[in-house]
Structure 1
Amino acid sequence: MAKTSELGGARVRDLDVRGVPLRVTEVGEGPPLLFLHGLHGLDAGAEWVGMLAERFRVVLPLHPGFGLSAREPWCRSVHDLAYLYLDLLEELDLAGVHLVGSSFGGWVAAQMAVRSQERLSDVVLVDPVGIKVGDRWTRDIADIFALDAAEVLRRTYRVPPAPLDVNALSDEELTVHLRNREASAVYGWEPYMYSPGLRRELGRVRVPCLLVWGAGDGIVTVDYGRAFQASVPGA
C-alpha cells in the first residue's frame, strides 16, 4: 500500500515495506539508481539529484528516524537498514540497480552488498564509513559528536558553509536537525561508525564497485579509503 504525491517534479511515496513505514522520493526516468544519504539527512531537491535524474530513475529513501520519519523501536542498526532496503528493492521490483551510498549511506550500501547482489548492477561508495582499519587505540573516523559544529563542517566540506544557527530555525527545522543527530547516535554510536567483521565480509562483493574519495576528507582519510578499496575484490 502506497500513497503518492508530486512535489516539484519529484514523486514522493509513503510505502509500507514489510510493516515499516518508509518515505521514498523518486525523480527522473531510466535505469534505477538507489541513493542512500549520509548523516546530514536527505535533500531531494539538491542540484546533483537533478543531474542524476537526467540519466536515471533516482530512488531516495529517507532513513527511518531522520527528518520527520518514523523509526520502529527494533530498527536500531545499520544491519536493520540494509535488510530494509533489500526489501525495498523487492517491494519496488527493481533489478539492475545502481546502488550509491554516501558516508553513512555508503556503510549501509556496503552492508546491503555483502548480503545480496541479486538485484544490483554495481555499487558506488562515496567516502563511506563502516570498517575498522587501525588497532583499538587508533581512531579511524573523526568523532562528530565530540567535535564542535564548525570543525565538523570544516572537515566535511571543501568550502564549509556557515555553522547552523539553531536560534534562527523554525520549530520543524529544529526538530529535523535534532532527530538527525539522534538517529546518527542510534545507528552509529557503539561501536563508533563501523561494523565488526565488515572489512572481511566485503570480499563477498562480486559486482563492479567504485569508491570515490575527497582528497581533503577530514572525517575519513584517503588512506582509510584505500583500505576500503583493498577489501573489495576488483574495486
Structure 2
Amino acid sequence: MQTLDLVDAHSGVEFGNGVRLDVRRDGTGERTALVLPGAERAVEDGRFLEALAEDFAVVTPSHPGFSRSPRPDWCSSVDDLAYLYLDWLDRSELTDVTLVGLQFGGWVALEMAVRSCARISRLVLVDSVGVKLGGPLDREVVDLFATPHAELDKIIYADRAHALGDLALAPVDDVLELARNEEALVTYGWQPYLHNPRLLNWLWRITVPTTVVWGDSDGVVVPDYGRGLAARIPGASFDLIDRAGHRPQVERPHDVARLIAKFAV
C-alpha cells in the first residue's frame, strides 16, 4: 500500500517511505491546522501561514505535482489526494485538527471531510471549488486554462499589486513553478472542470463545524457560489472578506487567520 511521507523542504528530513512531499511547518501551538493550498505559488501564502501560526502548529504540504513535490503516475485525481492526506492524519495520530482548504485545496478538503471527520474538528473552506451547484450549462468557475494570464490577475486579486504581473519580467523560477502548478491542476481538474459531479450529494456527511470564507471581489468564483456551498453543508456559516478577491489569504492574511482562530476556539 502506498503511504504519504512528508519531506520538510526546509530541513530535508524524510518521514519514512512512499510519496514524498515538500512541507512547510509554522508555529508550535497545541492545536494543529492542516492547510491545503490552492494552485498558485505557495510562497504567496507565507504571511497568512505565519499569522495562523500565532494560534496553531501549521502543516502545509504541497500537493503531488505542485511546487517541488513529485507526482507518482498513479496519483491523478482529487480522490487520490484526499485518501493520501487522510492516511497521513491516521498515521500521525493527530486529533482535533482544523482542516483549512484554500481554493483548489478546498475541493480536496471537502473530499476528505465527506469520507471521514474522525481526526478533523473544524473545516474551513476559502473560496473553494469542487461542487456543481447549477445546471450543466451554468459556468460557475472561470476557465482558468483559457483566460490570458493578464486577465486572470484582474479577476483573482482585488489589488493587482499582489499579482505576479508580466511573466516576461518575472523571475524564471517563479514562472516555472506557476507552469508546473498549472500542469498539475489540469491533471486533477480538467474533466469535469474543477468539480466532482457526485460530491454535492455527499456534503451531508460533513459532521464538524464548518465555515465558508470568501473574498467579496472574487472574480473566479463569485460569492453567491460560496453562499450556496455553505447552505448545503449542515450548519455551515459564511463569512465575507472585504477588499479581497479569489485569494483572500494573500490579500487579507491577518483577517483570514483571525477569523479561523476565532472559529476554532
| Cα contact 1:36–1:100 (8 A) shared by 2 | yes
- TM-score between the two structures when normalised by the length of structure 2: 0.81
Find the residue that maps to 2:40 and give its secondary structure: coil
- Within a 5 Å distance, the mapping from 1:1-235 to structure 2 comes to 7=10, 13-16=13-16, 19-30=18-29, 31-43=31-43, 46-161=46-161, 162-235=163-236
Shift of 1:13: 4.7
8 Å CA contact 2:67, 2:181 repeated in 1? yes
Asked if the contact 1:14/1:22 (under 8 Å) is kept, the reply is: no
Query: Secondary structure of 1:39's partner?
Result: coil
Instruction: Say which SS state the counterpart of residue 212 (structure 2) adopts.
Output: strand
> Do the aligned residues in 1 keep the contact of 2:8 with 2:24 (CA within 8 Å)?
no
Mark the CA change 1:139 to 1:12 in structure 2 (over 3 Å): closer, same or farther. farther
Q: Do 1:26 and 1:58's aligned partners in 2 also have CA atoms closer than 8 Å?
A: yes
Return the offset for 1:16.
4.6
Question: Measured at CA, do residues 216 and 195 of structure 1 come closer, stay the same or move farther in structure 2, by a change above 3 Å?
Answer: same
Structure 1-normalised TM-score?
Answer: 0.90
Residue 256 of structure 2 is matched in structure 1 by: none
Q: Give the letter aligned to residue 124 of structure 2.
A: V
In structure 1, what residue type is equivalent to 2:68?
L
Q: What RMSD over aligned residues (CA atoms) do the two structures have, in Å?
A: 2.0
Aligned-residue sequence identity (percent) comes to 43
Relative distance call for 1:105 and 1:13 in structure 2 (3 A) is farther
- 1:199 aligned partner, one-letter code: L
Separation in 2 of the partners of 1:74 and 1:21? 14
Amino acid at match of 1:20: V
How far residue 94 of structure 1 moved from its aligned partner, in angstroms, is: 1.1
Question: CA contact under 8 A between 1:13 and 1:23: conserved in structure 2?
Answer: no
Q: Can you give the 5+ residue segments of structure 1 that lack an aligned partner in the other structure?
A: none
